[in-house]
Amino acid sequence: MTASITASHFMTTAATPAGFPHFHYQNGELFAEGVALSTLAQQLGTPLYVYSRAALATAWSSYQEAIGAHRVLVCFGMKANSNLAVLKEFARLGSGFDIVSGGELARVLAAGANPAKVVFSGVGKQDWEMQAALEAGVKCFNVESLPELKRLSAVATRMGKVASVSLRVNPDVDAQTHPYISTGLKENKFGIAIEEAPAAYQLATTLPGIQVVGVDCHIGSQITEVSPYLDALDKLLKLIEQLVSLGITLKHLDLGGGLGIRYDDETPLAPKLLLDKVFAQLKARGFDHLELVLEPGRSLVGNAGVLLTS
């Protein structure tokens, strides 16, 4: 049996694969953290996903070092990878989780994660999923629409619970990424249009079983520039200022995820380069008391594993 790697990076070079620092060649054979992949193929069979724990830890550390003493909750966007071993490793590191379904909630809980660090995003949440999340005690629901907000109110009231809510706002910002993975433009139809957000927040404060705690946006994926984030942040801060004038105060600001990784010749955006500018903007505008929530996905796991085949 001959083991091979499906990723094109590894098919064409005997050098260290670009963007995969914990995978390297020794005498023409590919190793992961000192373990020969051919050995894993012989012992465990193929096809086989091989993940580097060191790569996960290194990616996680890049965010922690960028955060420093600031109050930030990093929630792994598990749509990027829901492998239980990967989830358990992030839970061990202290990560929060960004989920989009009841099934993902079940996986996060099975991995031993703290539900108080879980944000429930995504469209089309069903009653049973809302109920399961309320029973688990998630940090908050990122609500995408007014119908969802009203449904969540009804479910929470029926259960005798209060749902912490962050409204997902569409800031109409171009993420400068591929149009198929852009989610922050008006035509993308994700979230509540930013001009309609003040009225939505006012409605939320009147609904039973609802407690408004934050604002959320997610503008896209595979982003390699700082400017789209800062454009979105500027619009969110203007919205927060408007909400303050209406007597609505928030506890956190969720800037989403979307930092890109290297596939070919991209230059990924380092978390510190982004967060230094975000922290400066928050301080300058007088909102550095807000907890910042981030939802990185592929930047934590995209270059941490390979698919081994024979």
Taking residues 268-295, report their average pLDDT. 96
CA distances, 200 to each of 19, 204, 247, 251, 259 (Å): 43, 6, 14, 17, 29
CB 254 within 8 A of CB 213: no
Could you tell me if 64 and 47 lie in one domain? no
Between CA 273 and CA 172 the distance in angstroms is: 23
Which residues span the domain enclosing 41? 4-51+305-309
Specify the pTM. Answer: 0.89
Task: Report the pLDDT value the prediction gives residue 9, as an integer from 0 to 100.
Answer: 39
Return the SS3 of 293. Answer: strand
Task: Report the pLDDT value the prediction gives residue 19, as an integer from 0 to 100.
Answer: 66
Mean pLDDT of the chain: 89
Could you tell me if 39 and 16 lie in one domain? yes
Task: Report the pLDDT value the prediction gives residue 184, as an integer from 0 to 100.
Answer: 41
Could you tell me if 188 and 206 lie in one domain? yes
Could you tell me if 17 and 161 lie in one domain? no
Could you tell me if 92 and 233 lie in one domain? yes
Return the CATH number at 95. Answer: 3.20.20.10
Could you tell me if 264 and 210 lie in one domain? yes
Could you tell me if 14 and 159 lie in one domain? no
Give the β-pairing of 23-26 and 140-143.
unpaired
Task: Report the pLDDT value the prediction gives residue 176, as an integer from 0 to 100.
Answer: 57
Structural domain tally of the chain? 2
Taking residues 207-213, report their average pLDDT. 98
Of 171, 281, 271, nearest in space to 224 by CA: 271
- pLDDT tens-digit profile of 246-269? 999 999 999 999 998 888 888 888
Q: Assess whether pLDDT exceeds 90 at residue 5.
A: no
Could you tell me if 35 and 134 lie in one domain? no
Alpha helices in 68-101 (DSSP H): 84-93
Task: Report the pLDDT value the prediction gives residue 263, as an integer from 0 to 100.
Answer: 82
Could you tell me if 123 and 35 lie in one domain? no
Between CA 103 and CA 169 the distance in angstroms is: 25
Indicate the pLDDT class of residue 288, thresholds 50, 70 and 90: very high
- pLDDT tens-digit profile of 127-170? 999 999 999 999 999 999 999 999 999 999 999 999 999 999 99
Of 268, 295, 221, nearest in space to 20 by CA: 268
Could you tell me if 169 and 198 lie in one domain? yes
Could you tell me if 60 and 47 lie in one domain? no
| Residue partners of 164: CB distance under 8 A and separation at least 6 | 138, 139, 140, 141, 211, 213
Task: Report the pLDDT value the prediction gives residue 20, as an integer from 0 to 100.
Answer: 75
Task: Report the pLDDT value the prediction gives residue 67, as an integer from 0 to 100.
Answer: 97
Could you tell me if 179 and 63 lie in one domain? yes
Q: Assess whether pLDDT exceeds 80 at residue 211.
A: yes
Q: Assess whether pLDDT exceeds 70 at residue 2.
A: no
Query: Which phi and psi (to 5°) does residue 306 adopt?
Result: -135, 160
CA distances, 53 to each of 22, 37, 60 (Å): 9, 15, 11
What share of the chain has pLDDT > 70, as a percent? Answer: 88
More confident residue, 189 or 33: 33
- pLDDT tens-digit profile of 114-128? 999 999 999 999 999
